[in-house]
Amino acid sequence: MKSIKESFTTDAINIKTYPLGEYDNIVVMFSRQYGLIKGIAKGVKRPKSKLGARMQMLVANKIMLKNGRNFDTICEAQALNTFTKLRTNLDKLTYSMYLTEIINAMCTDSDEDVESNEKIYQLFYNVLEGISNSLNKIEIFLHSIRFQLKFMAQIGYGAEFETCLKCGCKIADGAYFSVSSGGVVCKNCRHGSDVYIGLHKKIREFLIAQQNCQNGEKTSYDELVDENFCEKCFLLLKKYIDSHASRPARALKVLKEIT
């Protein structure tokens, strides 16, 4: 779609950069219209670069790109949100980086499903803003968990917590979660070769509430949960996502190594 135009404009969030030669960087971005895209930020490492700080990780820009043979070139960038408060807190930064890794691992280059790209962009933008404004680690977890659930649903891997994957019964109590299938089975159906993780009723109910809540809304669980409970849920979803990703996310491993 974009290849027929000489240049194009889109909103995009920087998710990864790597060096190209002495002065340039390649920037991987998730864009509102085209999904995952790459562009060269020419001269970005020169002291007087006009792109400069806008090409850092986790900045949302309105950008103009010019089509190139191998790579598009980023000609202009106007910052939409720099998510400043992400950068001053190691937890905020680490969980945000983890989310960029999921997007990078699960999305494909220049996906032309504009409607889906738009939804993922909005989820991503909202989660970065949410994490940026979080007042404690529980809030960071809540934003991350919602993103994990909603992002997976958006790309066609929505997790099932209400109905047994095997017999279809409505589960009333605890259940068993299959990481590879991304859903729960009832106690009668848990026998077989799949590996299951026991899910307490409270965890199941909490995850269903997070799955169904709209952006910006609170659920009745948000005030009740503690950090441990949230971390458990977060890691369960991480396991599920890792099992579907081409490469497992590293950001949290790095946090463990430096703290």
Residues of the shown chain interacting with Zn ion in the complex, contacts defined by CB under 5 A = 164, 166-167, 186, 189
- 118 burial type by CB count under 10 A (0-12 exposed, 13-18 middle, 19+ buried): middle
Closest CA to 40 of 11, 77, 80: 77
The least CB distance from residue 199 to Zn ion, in Å, is 14
The least CB distance from residue 207 to Zn ion, in Å, is 18
Long-range pairs for 28-33: beta carbons < 8 A, 24 or more residues apart:
28/104, 29/63, 30/103, 30/107, 30/120, 30/121, 30/124, 31/63, 31/117, 31/121, 32/117, 32/118, 32/121, 32/122, 33/2, 33/114, 33/117, 33/118
Task: Between 1 and 195, name the residue whose CB sits nearer to Zn ion.
Answer: 195
The least CB distance from residue 167 to Zn ion, in Å, is 3
Task: Between 189 and 237, name the residue whose CB sits nearer to Zn ion.
Answer: 189
The least CB distance from residue 192 to Zn ion, in Å, is 11
Task: Between 167 and 172, name the residue whose CB sits nearer to Zn ion.
Answer: 167
Task: Between 167 and 235, name the residue whose CB sits nearer to Zn ion.
Answer: 167
Task: Between 60 and 164, name the residue whose CB sits nearer to Zn ion.
Answer: 164
The least CB distance from residue 3 to Zn ion, in Å, is 48
Task: Between 78 and 188, name the residue whose CB sits nearer to Zn ion.
Answer: 188
The least CB distance from residue 208 to Zn ion, in Å, is 17
